[in-house]
Structure 1
Amino acid sequence: MFPYEVDDRIVLKPLIEEDAESLFQLTDRSRLYLREWLPWVDSTVKIEDSLQFIQHVQKLYEENKGLTLGVYYQGNLAGSLSYNLIDWSNKVAYIGYWLADEFQGKGIMTNSVRALIDYAFQDLQLNRVDIRAAYENKKSRAIPERLGFTKEGQIRQAEWLYDHYVDHIVYGMLQSEWTK
């Protein structure tokens, strides 16, 4: 499956150790933008932090517990898309994503998430895909809404972001709904 060409502009491929510098540089350039919704930004202060992240997600992949992909737009790393967790007992994948601010508004992440959902249902034979986003993170919430997910509820104070809690909105898609 990977690398996977979403379209003539977008390619998804697993992050490898050689991507650490470009991942760090992308994070660093978008630090203020990403920090609003991502709790790990302040702890990513050097290339080695990105390398450790890549090694961690490679281990999750080897253990069949997750999958993290680089999202490449016209050959440039633009962000990350992942199954943060795959719950094989319940056949559920939990999707997470981020895109650097310079790549926003081009349909990159919506099309990439659509491809990862197809992979979850067709190749992995999972039953459910779950996407959670902070209540006020309208850009992140727009993706599952655009893709026809069901808004299933709100989890109060679900995540600590630096100095405050944020609520999460839970979106779900079932395999039977997606194939329609």
Structure 2
Amino acid sequence: MFVLPVDNELYLRIAEEKDAEELFKLIDRSRESLREWLPWIDRTIRKEDTITFIQFSQKGFAEFTSMNLVILYREKIVGVAGFNEMDVENKVLSIGYWLGQCYQGNGIMNRVVRLLADFALNHLHFNRIEIRIAVGNKKSQAIPEKLGFKKEGVLRETEWLYDHYVDHIVYSLLASDNLE
């Protein structure tokens, strides 16, 4: 099983079908806060929907096209983070993440994204990492900004969020940049 340790209380690993119940309950408990920025919440209404996501994640991992991992904090699943897309030919990948509502504000995601960026640049030898975040999502924007990602610009109306389009800020980190 693929595991990425962050520190003594936090690690990432590939999701397994046995995680579906715990992951679904976390989504369900955080549904209101996650729905503000994540377009898939309304399509995740049963444990079986979470199993489908886990199977999709395992397939992407096996094909080296994505790497979505569950975040475990003190042995509890608290969210998901990883590489949503991996362009091996161009050495470019994108990081995505979400955290259950009751685990936000404790620095967990800063530690996770720092590890993912380091792993992408120094172990997988990618050249460019992107993070795209909706313009109004200040909590998520704080993470790449704190870690030294460069704000490149805004993609207008790039994501349909339930009943409206949202703009995304594009952040990037290159292998030649310094991760803070």
Question: Do they fold alike, i.e. is TM over 0.5?
Answer: yes
1:21 maps to 21
2:99 maps to 99
Give 1:44 deviation, angstroms.
Answer: 0.3
Instruction: Give the secondary structure class of the aligned counterpart of 1:83.
Output: strand
Q: What 5-or-longer segments of structure 1 have no aligned partner? A: none
Query: For each residue in 1:6-58, what CA deviation from the matched residue of structure 2 results, as whole angstroms up to 9, or x when unmatched?
Result: 11221111111111111100000000010000000000000000000000111
Cα distance in 2 for residues equivalent to 1:20 and 1:111: 24
Give 1:5 deviation, angstroms.
Answer: 1.9
Cα distance in 2 for residues equivalent to 1:31 and 1:53: 16
RMSD: 1.3
Cα distance in 2 for residues equivalent to 1:30 and 1:151: 28
Q: Where do 4+ consecutive residues of structure 1 move more than 4 Å?
A: none
Give 1:179 deviation, angstroms.
Answer: 6.3
State the TM-score, normalizing by the size of structure 2.
0.97
Cα distance in 2 for residues equivalent to 1:179 and 1:74: 26
Instruction: Give the secondary structure class of the aligned counterpart of 2:112.
Output: helix
Give 1:3 deviation, angstroms.
Answer: 1.5
2:34 maps to 34
Instruction: Give the secondary structure class of the aligned counterpart of 1:140.
Output: helix
State whether structure 2 residue 104 is matched by structure 1 residue 108: no
Cα distance in 1 for residues equivalent to 2:69 and 2:115: 12
2:144 maps to 144
Give 1:178 deviation, angstroms.
Answer: 3.0
Cα distance in 2 for residues equivalent to 1:14 and 1:28: 21
Instruction: Give the secondary structure class of the aligned counterpart of 1:37.
Output: coil
Cα distance in 1 for residues equivalent to 2:52 and 2:79: 17
Alignment of 1:77-88 (within 5 A): 77-88=77-88
Query: For each residue in 1:71-128, what CA deviation from the matched residue of structure 2 results, as whole angstroms up to 9, or x when unmatched?
Result: 1111111100010000011101100000011001111001001001111011110001
Give 1:2 deviation, angstroms.
Answer: 3.5
Alignment of 1:61-72 (within 5 A): 61-72=61-72
The amino acid that maps onto 1:176 is S
State the TM-score, normalizing by the size of structure 1.
0.97
